[in-house]
Amino acid sequence: MTMLGMNSVTAAVARSTISLSASSASISSNLFRALSTTTESLKVKSTTPPPVANQAERIKYFKIYRWDPDHRQKPYLSTYPVDLNDCGPMVLDALIKIKSEQDPTLTFRRSCREGICGSCAMNINGRNTLACLCYIDPKDEDGNTKSNSGGDVMKIYPLPHMYVIKDLVPDMGNFYEQYRSIEPWLQTKEGKMEGQAEFLQTREDRAKLDGMYECILCACCSTACPSYWWNADKYLGPAVLMQAYRWIEDSRDEFQDKRLAELDDAFKLYRCHTIMNCTKVCPKHLNPGKAIAHIKKKLAEK
């Protein structure tokens, strides 16, 4: 091979090498760009709406019951302004915002924020409800905000006719003790058979528990009942009586007669005068009044 031919081959190999290097660089660049794009797409973007320029403030005033046992003063109401443009839609959102930004001493219970735990039960504008399910601006049946509903001031108190520990925190000790008294667990005479996994029941029997097992023991119903206000130490109240009926009606429980006999009392059960405040305020849309009526009916049939 001549020198000229060898130079031509060398130049061709060099051009091929340069071309491969450029292709590799291009592939690496595209791969990096693709990975970068993928990484960016996986990032959670902020759900906070961008601020609207020159948006007028929507101030809502919250008058909140305050009492601290460590301070020797009577209960009072504190007023807090909240811009609804910078706040979530629920009363619990406003309370958290007030505690975070205005007054860290404000005390209230809260946990799930989904209407499951019942912790944030309180009296809002005269009605017992859950702060996490209560809209600051109530909605109509179509989900639209009612105009000028409740005015510019919202009043928040602890659950009525209960001892207050601090601010919006009531003492639930008596309520839970009454719940314990009905023995809210499955009771059988012989227990499980050998190798038995669970206690079975038919779908029809299971359906009888609907409307009772959903109770979250928030005490909204009991603290809305005048009979419970007057006799909280003796009358079990709507929530506990509905839970008692839940176990009376359970086909797997074998102590129905015993449970009914323990409820057959002038105060435990018959202080209920079917005022029906309990059913009206239940945030889970249950009907404790109906459950109490069923207990009375079963006792009358015995």
| Amino acid residing at 10 | T
pLDDT at 87: 94
Annotate 201-214 with b (16+ C-beta within 10 A) or e (fewer). eeeeeeeebebbee
pLDDT at 192: 86
Q: What is the mean pLDDT of each run of 10 residues along the chain (302 residues)?
A: 48 48 52 50 55 74 96 94 94 97 96 95 97 88 59 92 97 97 94 88 96 96 97 96 97 96 96 96 97 96 86
pLDDT at 145: 65
| 238-248 helix and 173-181 helix, angle to the nearest 10 degrees | 20
Question: What is the four-CA torsion angle of 203, 209, 214, 219, rounded to 10 degrees?
Answer: -170
Cα–Cα distances in Å, from 269 out to 115, 146, 163, 249, 276? 28, 40, 23, 17, 14
| Amino acid residing at 37 | T
* pTM (two decimals): 0.78
